[in-house]
Amino acid sequence: MAKHRMDVTTFVGKLMEAEDVDLLREGVRVLAQLLMDAEVSSQIGAELYERTEERTAQRNGYRSRTWDTRVGTVELKVPKIAPGTYFPALLEPRRRAERALAAVIQEAYVKGISTRKVDDLVRALGMDGISKSEVSRICKTLDAEVEAFRSRPIEGSHPYVWLDATYHKVREAGRVTSMATVVAVGVTGEGWRQVLGIDVGPSEDQAFWTQFLRSLVRRGLRDVALVISDAHEGLKVATARVLHGATWQRCRVHFMRNLLATVPRSASGTVAAIVRTIFAQPDHASAMAQLHRVADGLRGKFPAAAELLESAAEDVLAHFHFPEEHRRRLHSTNPLERLHKEVKRRTAVVGIFPDRPSLIRLAGMLLAEQDDEWAVTDRRYFTFESMARINEPGGGEPKELLAAIA
C-alpha cells in the first residue's frame, strides 16, 4: 500500500508538469481521489466495502474541499471516517498555503484594499476567486490581535498626551452614520512615542470622552502633565474630570482658524502675522505680555478677535511652561493629525464600513502597525535629558533666562 501511494503521488507530480490544463485538472482530480481512498483504507485497515477484523473505523461519506494547484482549482471529495478524523496528506501543504493566503488578505485589508478588490488579488495569485463573506471571515481573525493591542497595560509615566478624533462612515441599524474615531498618543518619561488607545463612538460628547479617558487610566495611564487637543467642550470637561492635575494646551492651529474667522478675509493675513508675534516670545511671561498688547491693538477694529485672544490666553500659551525644545511639538495636535491622515488614506478605500467592529479592526491594525514602528526606531521624540527637566523648577524657561536669574 505504501509503495502504491508513493507511485500515485509521483505520477500526480509528473502529470501536473504537463501543459494540457483541462485534461491535467481532471487527471489530477481522479488520481487525488484514488490517493485519498488508499490512505483511508490504510488508516482504517480495510478497503471499500471490505469486512475485516483489523478494521478500526467506518467510512462516513464525503466533504467537499477545493485544492489549488498549478493546473487550477480542483474540486475534491474528501472521505470522512467515524470514529476519528482523516486529513489527506496531499493537502498538508495547502494548510500552509491557506495561512499564507490569509496573511496576504489581511495585509491587503490593512493596506486599505476593499473586499471587492481582494477577489481580484486572489485570482492574480492563480487561485479561484474568494467571496466577500470569506474575506470578512479571514479578516475577523485580526480582532484578537487588535483587542490585545487596545487592552494592553500602559506602563510607565506619560507626561504628554495628544487627543483627537476623526470621522468615518459606518452602517448601523440600517442607516449610514458618521462615527467618531478617537485616538490618544503619548510620550513616555524616556521620550518615546506610543499609541495609547483607540475607540469608536457615535459622537465626541463628554460621556464618550470620559469613558475613553477612564479606560486609559484603568490600563495604567499616569503622571500626565500636559494634554494637547482641540477646544471641544466635552473633551475639556472629561480631561479635567479624569486626568487630575494635567494642564490643557489648546491646539494653536485650530485656535488660529477660529480667531481668523472673526475678522474680514482681507485683514486675515495682517492679523495672523501680528498674532504670531505672541508665540515667537522666549518664555511664558513675555508671551502673555505680548498677547495683551496684541489684544489691545485689535480691540478697536476687531473686538471679537481681541475677546477670543484674551479668553484663550492661558490655554494657547500652556506649552510655554514646558522645556523649550519641546514646545514646537506641544503647541498643536499636528503630530496626531498626521497619523489621522494616514489612517484616512487607508480607510478611504473602504468607504462605508459595515459596522463598528470592522472600523476598529482596520484602524486598530493601522495604529498597532504605527506603534510597532515607533517602538523599533532609534530616534526618541524628545531627548531623555530634556524629559528629565519637565518637573524641575523653571523647567519651561530658556537656559539663558535661568542663567541670568542665577
Tens-digit pLDDT profile for residues 77-136: 888 888 877 777 776 655 555 565 566 666 666 666 666 666 666 666 555 666 667 667
The verdict on residue 400 lying in a domain is no
Is 403 a domain residue? no
Residue 160, C-beta contacts closer than 8 angstroms, at least 6 positions apart: 186, 187, 224, 225, 226, 228, 326, 330
Same domain, 173 and 317: yes
Task: Tell me: do 58 and 199 sit in the same domain.
Answer: no
Per-residue pLDDT, averaged over 195-199, amounts to 96
Residues 129 and 160 occupy one common structural domain: no
pLDDT(183) > 90: yes
On whether both 192 and 323 belong to a single domain, the answer is yes
Which pLDDT belongs to residue 67? 75
- 158 pLDDT tier (thresholds 50, 70, 90): very high
Q: What pLDDT, in 10s, does the model give residues 281-299?
A: 999 999 999 999 999 999 9
Nearest to 366 by CA among 342, 333, 338: 342
Please tell me whether residues 257 and 322 are part of one structural domain: yes
| Among the ranges given (25-29, 59-63, 158-162, 315-319), the one the predictor scored with the smallest mean pLDDT | 25-29
Together in a domain, 218 and 163: yes
256 and 308 together in one domain: yes
Indicate whether 245 and 354 sit together in one domain.
yes
Residues 82 and 44 in one domain: yes
116 and 12 share a domain? Answer: no
Contact 228, 163 (CB under 8 A): yes
* Domain match, 226 and 324 both: yes
In a domain, 144, yes or no: no
Domain residue limits at 209: 156-387
Domain count, the chain: 3
User: Is the pLDDT assigned to residue 14 strictly greater than 70?
Assistant: no
